[in-house]
Structure 1
Amino acid sequence: MDSPRIHRRAYGRIAVAGVTTLAAASALGFTATTATAAGPGLANAPRHAQPSDPLVTEHHDADRRHGTAKPTARQRSAAAAAPTDVRWNALGTPASVGPAKALASGLSGSPTERARDYLADNDDLFGLSAAEVESLEKVLVKRIGEGTVVTLRQRFGDLPAGHDGLVSVLLHDDKVVRVTSSLARDTSAPAAATLSKSEAVAKALADVSMAAGEAGEPAVREVAVPTVDGPRAAYEVVFSSTEGAEPEAYTSFVDARSGEVLIRTDDVDHDSDNPTWSVFPATPPADGQDTRVQWCATPIDGCARAVSEAAGGNPWDLDLLTGETTNTTAGNSADNVIRWTDASSDKRPAPATDRNYHYAFTDQWAKSKCDPAVFESEQRNDADAAVSNLFAMHNRMHDFSYHLGFTEDAWNMQRVNLSGATGAGDPEIGRAQSGAISGSRNNANQGTGRDGVPPTTNMYLWQPIAGGAYPPCVDGDYDMTVIGHEYTHAITNRMIAGPDAGVGGPQGGAMGESWGDLIAGEYLFESGYRAPGVSPWVTGAYVTGNEENGIRSYAFDRSPLNYSDVGYDLVGPQVHADGEIWSATQLRVRKAFVKRYGEGSKALNEQCAAGEVDATECPGGRRWVQLMFDSFLLQATSQPSFVDMRDNMLAADLVRFGGRNQDILWNAFAESGLGRDATSTSGADTDPVPSFASAYAKNATVRLRPVGTVTGPVKLYVGDYEARSTPVADTDPATELGDTFSIVPGTSFRFVAVGAGAGAHRFTKAFPAGSSSELKLNMPRNLAASAAGASARGDGINLDKLIDETEGTNWASRDGVRGKQVTVDLAGTDPQTVKQVNVSALLRPAITGDVDDGTQNRFSALRSFAILTCDDTVSDCASGEGFQEAYRSPADAFPAGRFRPTSPKLNMRSFAIPPTKATHVRIEVVDSQCTGNPLYAGEQDNDPNAATDCGENSAFADFVRISELQVFNAVPNLTP
């Protein structure tokens, strides 16, 4: 392991054919685990394993600075007088101010002088004296369109702030437009260190149970860490494991007197003058044909693209320290190796003295169906072709992002900084086929330390794992959607919150995952390439074999997700699933920009991608992604919320494009629940308040009014989800929400209405601009609702959770699947004519202390079922003999696709039943996803150590779950 901050690291216990194996969850949200069913686990099993769903990703971050400093009365008064909202950080200063066309005006001097003058003039708000403002050190001064962002950092005595203590000020001419900060009011010098650096290293290692011999040479420097009790001298210790194929890396801030680890961040995020490379620009074809094209430094016949390093126009394989070519997969921007086990196994292709990097590609991993014998073959599993492809893609991402602002002065990754900017010596370290022999699979991750510390990425082979995931046998080193995703973690962790801190927190982490997918997709689009998928906005279709949604739950341009859905997925609030909310939001923003400015020709898009045309002359997609990069530099705190980054994009538009796009930005954000009144207490808020009202539209005003037989309170949700989502309105007088809401007009919104005793019903509706109306919902009774008097008996556990009218709970059988049943005694005493059932197979987060905790596995979700009915006025319903099958669902009632089941395929579905008189309704399991889905059945590879059939070899084969059963004698009329 060469560097820290490898993003989105977690550990879980995954049972494979009865053997529990420690595994690390990836930056992509999947499990890097051994493909060996009966053999040993990973070579370097982590020490922090916790029981969890295999796809759950948990951080091992820790911030032990307790308490919150409240703003003073003087600060609150100044905030009340400000022309825009002010949000506060935990250190008692503004976390954000603006955006506004002018927070202050009439400023003069250099950008740094104007930023200092603004802060000094607003001492009442920021709580800093003129002298304290003058002592702030300059970190960044960078042009953004017609504006400039200035980032300053606090010092505490002789020590720079190591974490927090930053302020970013966006200037436009003589005006301040936006400010974000993690400043502290107390800037006094901390008490001097009493611990040595070596003692601090020992404390940091002990905190994560890592032995000294595993950590190589940690990078250590003395800094200050602001706390609510004043600044403390601390040692920043950056270290990573040097053992095994799996990454483990941390940045820890150790109190230089007490030895307490104040802050820990888990840094795992998962002879020719014309060199040429053979590459797959997007992915190989599904049939494994060698369709590679040739890229070269100087245009020649047969060369599909001329490529060179954006910083200086040099060939990718040039070592700028020596001026010599490397003749291999190393250069100024990237340094890549093949790593099959640990560092001792690192290899490079044989030197190409003619600088023609063309290595044979036979698609050996796929054609052998994951046969481990390929590692002993002469072709070595196409490893040379893989690492050469990865090297080229890393360079392409470097050059693409360079023209969007990820330059040397914005802390990018280069061995030599030609501008003389500090922080050199940190090219992207890439590891192709990482852990291939150790057994690591189905993963990718990126580690990004502070500026000057080389970042590291690991790309993995993909292989079916029983009850874990079912990808084809492919090599992730050829999927540019995955490579670009990981590289973007490095971009955002360098550009956000200065050169040292990186992105963190639930919402920041979610956006980090989203940005990875979005920027990889935009790179491919602007470069004229198309990865497989139903749209250009599918991540990982090649590695997963799923062209509908790839690694994620949705293709982002087809996603219904919005800000009210935070926590919607089965694991609850989680960065990969919640990142899809930001992705859906951003694709709505991009769509609005493309509608206004066009999609552009192939030639123009390539010119824009190469930085040959200014963003103000580019098509809509380029303008959108430019604002995204601009927004990174405006964020001074490392744990931003969606609302923070929304405001940063709005502010960036003011200086990049003169504010000409405020309307389409606001309208798209409003459509996504990030409208005018959306709030989030912080980037750690997992229950934010959505708003669908635009600041630039004549919003509709809507009052929710149930009619008909509904007597209990009704909640209304925007989107497709109820469980763990936030309603936009409800009719319960005991809540503060109220029954009236504002919503941006013209958009056809999807809604879920849930009523006590009325079940859940979905519908779609748009509202006219400026209208004021009642939303009348005529919802029939849910005859299977416990709230209406229904009761349940049968197999398994949590029977009452099946009829509680929420998908946030579920019934489970843990000792078998087929034939397991729950019988519901319907509400009332008279027979009812059953016409429709709603059934949900959505899973829920694990609940600590629950007897059923630890089995929320996607493959245990229901796939197919039968409905049986009985009328106790004519038959014996008590013994069960009177039940007759009224309906048998399709075999794919919950049609989970390739790779793994996802929430959109498992949540509530309606099924029409032939009208049947009944007093009792029984749901009987036919199959779970594991036992009944043919995509997860049979032996799918030639690995003698791996048994892939889910029904035979998964530890979850005897588990099945159903979230909800609802029964109706009428189809709802939800038309207002």
Structure 2
Amino acid sequence: MLSAQSLFPSQRHNMTLLTKLASIALLIASGVIAAPWSHQSRVSSTTHHTRALGPHNIKIRSFHPSSTFEFNKTYGVTGVDHPLSKRALKASSSEAAKSFLESKTEIHPSEITHRTSHSSENISNEFFNQEINGIKVANAVANVALKENRVISYGANFVKPKNIASATPIFQQEKAIENAEFVTGAKYNSYPVELQYIITDSGDAVLTYTIEVQNDDTFELYHVHVDASDGEVVSVVDFVSSATAYRVTPFTSQDLSDTGFSLITDPFDELASPNGWHRYGTTNTTDTSGNNVRAYVAGNAGYETTVQSSSTNIYNYVRDPTLSVYQGTNPDAARVNVFYIANMMHDLTYRYGFTEKTWNFQQDNRGLGGAENDRMEIRVQGNSIGIITVPADGRPAMMELGIWSQGDGAFQNDVTIHEYTHGIVGRLTGGGTAKCFQTTEAFGLNEGWADALPNLIQRTSAEDRDFLYAKWANGKNLRTYPYSTNKTTHPRMYGDSGTNSDTLAIAELWAVIWHEITVALMKEHGFASNLFDPTLTNGNTMTLHLIIDGLIAQPCNPTFIDARNAVIQADANRYNGANKCTLWKAFAKRGLGYGATTTKINSEILPPEC
């Protein structure tokens, strides 16, 4: 790492500096997620992620040691007692979870801080941070799940650092902000700067300024951790993941080539959006903005939304394929379609547990918990074919959909669903922080879930059919292989990933595993034509429950093994393990069986009971 004196603003335009930067293979070794009780130095896709940032294309390698994650393989379906129950002490879920963490991690209770919680049916999920000297450790987190006051799973990466920096900052905050801007090429956005410790891959606790910078043009948003003693950048967290009526391509249509357009009346869900899509608080809207979503084109007047074509809230705009995507009512048709798809995603996933309490995207939470003023902001006809920035609960996510080779990506519904899914994944894992997918493997898994949801949602029967992503807008399948249960058609296996730093390969493997799970569960339980009824026990409804529940249960920066185990745990929690062997068979088919480890060797072994 370079010192601030040799690297930063006073020499920004110095050609010698730029030459030096170009030769640097590693600028920043950092830790956004801390080690379980020790540190690792081996570079791996499960612990590191390298990205290039800023106008100078500076390479940043982040370090995120793997979490400890224990689930029903260790604790059984009914769970285990926590220390307070053994002492016959009455305790809340958070107190019980904290006592369990103390016993497992040997971290002093004064250094464990409860951050948030979520309860669903008979499961309580409690989330914690570690503190040192009364200051939060940004990359030391834990989550504990309890059922009937017994622990059924936990994940943690609390750490006992080798060395702890002074809690008093020395380097000037203003200069630290300049350094953060220089490395990322983004600008400080006036979000309050916070002092936090970061655990580095050397095992030390470094006091840092946590500075938020963003680039409005490119939708980049970062938390930059700058050493408070000398101004050196030690870590970067990246939040980017790539009676009304609406004329739209229906929600279950992959794109406009499937079924064309329909005028759909009152599609909002009365549970998820009881005031409809065009009201938040006391505000009523007559354009493509509302409680859950705002869809707009960035123009000279700022956020240019589409207004109703006729009262009240009728959005009947016809796409004209003979005109440019920018001409006539084509921009209006694009905004209306995206507004509809994103709202449908909000309402559907609300039914399955992505609600105000679990950190969803809404302006007005109607007093039901969580932070508000964070609806999904979607810019259509932008510069990127598809990208989303997902900050923590209480701050709006920003999605951008652009123009593809074959047309406006706003009509490629699976891409909108893909990007929205990044928001769901980012918020649910880690308790609403949106910081838990920073390793190469976790980043790839995030992309995998984002492909899995449109594949699931846009099914119209239990047929075992292949899925091609973004095929209309791209002119062909955007992925390397179609998603298929046929291993000749889609050959990816867990053992092929090795130390692979190719996030697309990781994503495709995880998504095809979910393809296998969906098909297997539908063969056993059939297909629900109404996915909006989460009480149905059909294969596709079960799959969506397992995705949502697993995301909440798994630890921060999950590996394939962690994510798999969380799904098995989710089935134990919700279905008492009824699908255990079906799930294990699906995992084993792709090499992620009972004997699989992080060494990435294929295992097609099933548990003895299967």
TM score, norm. by length of structure 2? 0.81
Given the superposition, is the C-alpha separation of residues 250 and 62 from structure 1 closer, same or farther in structure 2, using an over 3 Å criterion?
farther
Q: Write the distance in 2 (CA, Å) between the matches of 1:358 and 1:536.
A: 34
Q: Distance in 2 between matches of 1:234 and 1:509?
A: 24
1:355 aligns with: 312
Q: How does 1:270-669 map to 2 (within 5 A)?
A: 270=242, 274-281=243-250, 282-283=253-254, 285-286=256-257, 291-296=261-266, 306-308=267-269, 310-320=271-281, 323-339=282-298, 346-350=303-307, 354-364=311-321, 367-368=322-323, 375=326, 377=327, 379=328, 382-435=330-383, 443-463=385-405, 473-500=406-433, 501-525=435-459, 535=465, 537-546=467-476, 549-558=477-486, 559-566=490-497, 573-600=501-528, 602-603=529-530, 605-608=531-534, 613=535, 617-637=536-556, 639-669=557-587
Offset of residue 538 of structure 1: 2.6
Equivalent residues of 1:98, 1:179 under 8 A apart: yes
> Matched residue of 2:369: which SS?
coil
Partner of 1:42: none
The alpha carbon displacement at 1:508 in A equals: 1.0
8 A Cα contact 2:444 2:507, kept in partner: yes
Deviation at 1:174, TM superposition (A): 4.2
Match of 2:55? Answer: none
> Where does 1:761-780 land on structure 2 (aligned, <5 Å)?
none
Tell me how far apart the structure 2 counterparts of residues 693 and 654 of structure 1 sit (CA, whole Å): 20
Higher helix share: 2
TM-score, length basis structure 1: 0.52
Instruction: Quote how far apart the aligned CAs of 1:333 are.
Output: 0.9
| Equivalent residue number for residue 178 of structure 1 | 153
1:140 matched residue in structure 2: 117
Cα deviation for residue 679 of structure 1 reads: 1.0
2:547 and 2:567 in contact (8 A); partners too: yes
Matching residue of 1:55: none
Shift of 1:690: 2.3
- Which moves more between the two structures, 183-192 or 555-564? 183-192
Q: Distance in 1 between matches of 2:395 and 2:205?
A: 26
| Residue of 202, 205, 216 corresponding to 2:181 | 205
**2:34, 2:307 → 1: CA distance?**
57
**In the alignment, which residue of structure 1 is the partner of 2:227?**
255
Q: CA deviation at 1:232?
A: 3.4
Code of the aligned partner of 1:665: L
Q: Is the 8 A contact 1:432 1:458 kept in 2?
A: yes
Match of 1:192 among 151, 159, 168: 168
In 2, Cα distance between the equivalents of 1:386 and 1:669?
38
Q: How far off its partner does 1:348 sit?
A: 1.9
AA paired with 1:543? Answer: A
Structure 1 residue 556, shift from structure 2 partner: 3.8
Deviation at 1:415, TM superposition (A): 1.2
Equivalent pair of 2:240/2:389 in contact (CA under 8 Å): yes
Structure 2 runs not aligned, ≥5 long: 1-17, 39-45, 49-62
Higher deviation after alignment, 199-208 or 477-486: 199-208
Question: Per the alignment, do residues 220 and 520 of structure 1 end up closer, same or farther by CA in structure 2, a change over 3 Å counting?
Answer: farther
Distance 2:110 2:239 in 1: 36
- Counterpart of 1:804? none
**Is the Cα–Cα contact under 8 Å of residues 437 and 443 in structure 2 kept in the other structure?**
yes
What is the alpha-carbon distance in structure 1 between the residues aligned to residue 364 and residue 219 of structure 2?
26
TM-superposed deviation, 1:420: 5.0
Q: What is the CA distance between 1:695 and its match in structure 2?
A: 1.1
Change in CA separation of 1:229 and 1:318 when aligned onto 2, cut-off 3 Å? same
Per the TM alignment, residue 447 of structure 1 is displaced from its structure 2 partner at its CA by 0.9
**Counterparts of 1:139 and 1:190 in 2: how far apart (Å)?**
28
RMSD after superposition: 3.5
Higher relative contact order (CA 8 A, sep 6+): 2
Q: Does 1:128 align with 2:107?
A: yes
1:156, 1:189 within 8 Å by CA — same for their partners in 2? no
Question: What residue identity is the alignment partner of 1:179?
Answer: Y
Report the CA distance between 1:313 and its aligned residue: 0.7
* Residues 333 and 427 in structure 1, CA contact (< 8 A), matched pair in contact too: yes
2:155, 2:27 → 1: CA distance? 23
How far 1:71 sits from its partner (Å)? Answer: 4.4
AA partner of residue 522 (structure 1): L
- Report the 3-state secondary structure (helix = DSSP H, G, I; strand = E; otherwise coil) of the residue aligned with 2:182: helix
- Greater mean alpha carbon deviation, residues 648-657 or residues 228-237: 228-237
Change (3 A) 1:189 1:141: farther
Contact 2:342–2:416, Cα closer than 8 Å, also in 1: yes
| Distance change >3 Å, CA 160–CA 666, structure 1 → 2 | same
User: Could you tell me which amino acid in structure 2 is paired with residue 656 of structure 1?
Assistant: R
Query: 1:506 and 1:654, CA in 2 relative to 1: closer, same or farther beyond 3 A?
Result: same
CA positional deviation for 1:61 = 11
CA distance in 2, matches of 1:417, 1:63: 39
Counterpart-to-counterpart distance in 2, 1:487 and 1:88: 26
The 2-side partners of 1:520 and 1:92 are apart by 31
Structure 2 partner of 1:18: none
Structure 1 gaps, min length 5: 1-46, 52-59, 73-86, 297-305, 464-472, 682-687, 699-976
Determine if contact 1:309/1:395 at 8 Å carries over to the other structure. no
Distance 1:360 1:70, change over 3 A: closer
Q: Based on CA coordinates, which of the two structures has the bigger radius of gyration?
A: 1
CA distance 1:415–1:513, shift in 2 (3 Å) = same
SS in 2 for 1:462: coil
From 582, 607, 610, the equivalent of 1:695 is 607
Quote the residue 2:206 is aligned against. Answer: 232
Q: 1:66 to 1:656 in 2, by over 3 A?
A: closer
CA deviation after TM superposition for structure 1 residue 667, in Å? 2.0
Distance in 1 between residues matched to 2:36 and 2:140, nearest whole Å = 16
Matched residue of 1:339: which SS? strand
Flag the 1:391–1:640 CA change in 2: closer, same or farther, 3 A: same
Task: Report what 1:676 is aligned to.
Answer: 594
Any idea what SS the aligned residue of 2:334 has? helix
Tell me the alpha carbon deviations over residues 888-918 of structure 1, each in whole angstroms, 9 at most, x when there is no partner.
Answer: xxxxxxxxxxxxxxxxxxxxxxxxxxxxxxx
Structure 1 vs Structure 2: percent identity of aligned residues?
Answer: 21
Deviations 1:552-588 (A, max 9, x none): 42124443322012279xxx64222321111121222
- On the 8 A contact 2:379/2:399 being kept in 1, the answer is yes
Q: Which amino acid aligns with 2:169?
A: A
Structure 2 vs 1, CA of residues 422 and 352 (structure 1 numbering), >3 Å: closer, same or farther?
same
Q: Secondary structure at the match of 1:539?
A: coil
Which amino acid in the other structure matches residue 587 of structure 1? H
Deviation at 1:383, TM superposition (A): 0.1
Relative to structure 1, is the Cα distance of residues 494 and 332 closer, same or farther in structure 2, using a 3 angstrom cutoff?
same
How far did 1:94 drift? Answer: 5.7
The amino acid of 2:247's aligned partner reads S
Q: Deviations over 1:731-774 (max 9, x none)?
A: xxxxxxxxxxxxxxxxxxxxxxxxxxxxxxxxxxxxxxxxxxxx
Task: Work out the CA distance in 1 between the residues paired with 2:402 and 2:578.
Answer: 44
Report the secondary structure of 1:64's partner residue: strand
In 1, Cα distance between the equivalents of 2:469 and 2:65?
40
In the TM superposition, 1:816-965 aligns within 5 A as none
